[in-house]
Amino acid sequence: MKIVTPAEGQENLSVKVRMIQFTQQYGIFLALVACCVFLAFANEYFLTTRNVLNILRQTSINGILAIGMTFVILTRGIDLSVGSIVAFTGVVAASLATTSSSAMVAGGPYPAIIAIMAGISVGMICGGISGLVVSRFHVPAFVATLGMLSAARGLTLIYAGGKPVPALTPEFRWIGTGNILGIPMPVVILVIVFAIAWWVLNFSRFGRYVYAAGGNPHAAKVSGINVGKIQFIVYAISGGLAAVGGMVLAARTGSGLTQAGIAYELDAIAAVVIGGTSLSGGVGRITGTLIGALLIGVMNNGLDLMGVESYYQQVIKGMLIVAAVMLDQSKNKH
């Protein structure tokens, strides 16, 4: 029987700790790579340029929503309203950029930049209202955003009269169907949003405040951080990015649809959680969120190519979410 000396035991423990840290830091990336390798062997069309661009295009909207959701979850919140805001802002922006006389706002169609700014403004107002209810009146985020989910969906139907807004101008549709150097515009927009969010969370004072407010709200308040203000801003950011996603979706489909965005909040939350952001707040990286969104997109695309029905895809996605949360809880215990 081999006797393990204290030095050897310490070394073995150190190796195990490093392996755990490596898995926690790079596990989601390794999972994405493994998924891509498996699907590349399983289907000959998976790694074609056309399919890769299709995956990125399909992932872009969820990625944009998930980035906004990351800000919220980092502060121990949740935003269930983003799907409804996608529909509401898409319809509002579409009404300013349509050539349909029955759907346009008086004086339209307006330049695409006006429609885009209007959509973002509406999204930030919706998100800001949720943030105000959470931060000022201390209503649980789940309840506040659930109320906004219902209200925004109702406002969408009221504003559009229950009908889609068709015939969008080519200028507006470019944000969903155009490309730059062969890269689809939705992907370009996702990259820009990601780059800004990455810089904000890693290098700005506001980013440090977001982590502080989520990690220990009491300590953050004692340190002079206005936690309520941070909460208000992150919900406004989430609403604004939901608006960006909503307008990209409207531009891609060619019309503002009142039923758009249903259950989009679930995929956004899934991407954030799978990407390693803790539901307990204060821990997470925006790169993990992007990889989480890509993993969901790759999985959906690969299962479609393999002929797996959407019902099974939902089951697999649910299992991934639960596994990610279980992993998060186990890390918190340690």
pLDDT of residue 313: 81
For residue 281, being part of any structural domain is answered with no
For residue 319, being part of any structural domain is answered with no
Parent domain of 127: 68-261
For residue 224, being part of any structural domain is answered with yes
Residue 56's φ and ψ, nearest 5 degrees, are -65, -40
pLDDT of residue 26: 75
Beta carbons within 10 angstroms of residue 306's beta carbon:
11
**79, 264 contact by CB (below 8 A):** no
Percent of the chain with pLDDT over 70: 90
Give one DSSP letter per residue of 95-111, joined into a string: HHSB--TTTSPTT-PPP
Q: How many domains does the chain have?
A: 1
Query: Which among 153, 166, 163, 162 has a CA at the least distance from the CA of 253?
Result: 166
Percent of the chain with pLDDT over 90: 78
Mean pLDDT of 107-117: 95
CA dihedral 58, 189, 76, 265 (to 10 degrees): -30
Mean pLDDT of 160-166: 95
For residue 271, being part of any structural domain is answered with no
Axis-axis angle for helices 170-177, 112-137 (nearest 10): 60
CA 207/CA 197 separation, integer angstroms: 9
Name residues whose C-beta falls within 8 Å of residue 27's C-beta, 6 or more positions apart in sequence. 276
CA 146/CA 201 separation, integer angstroms: 26
* Mean predicted lDDT score pLDDT of the chain: 91
- For the entire predicted model, the pTM comes to 0.92
pLDDT of residue 106: 83
Q: How confident is the model at residue 74 (pLDDT cuts 50, 70, 90)?
A: very high
For residue 41, being part of any structural domain is answered with no
Q: pLDDT tens, 196-208?
A: 999 999 999 999 9
Mean pLDDT of 203-222: 96
Q: How confident is the model at residue 308 (pLDDT cuts 50, 70, 90)?
A: confident
Distances (CA, A) of 321 to 229, 252, 269, 282: 30, 28, 9, 19
pLDDT of residue 83: 98
For residue 239, being part of any structural domain is answered with yes
For residue 183, being part of any structural domain is answered with yes
Count of positions (residues) in the chain: 334
For residue 123, being part of any structural domain is answered with yes
Mean pLDDT of 246-272: 96
Distances (CA, A) of 274 to 115, 233, 277, 293: 34, 24, 7, 8
Which amino acid does the sequence have at 261? G
Q: pLDDT tens, 136-161?
A: 999 999 999 999 999 999 999 999 99
CA 333/CA 148 separation, integer angstroms: 34
Mean pLDDT of 293-311: 91
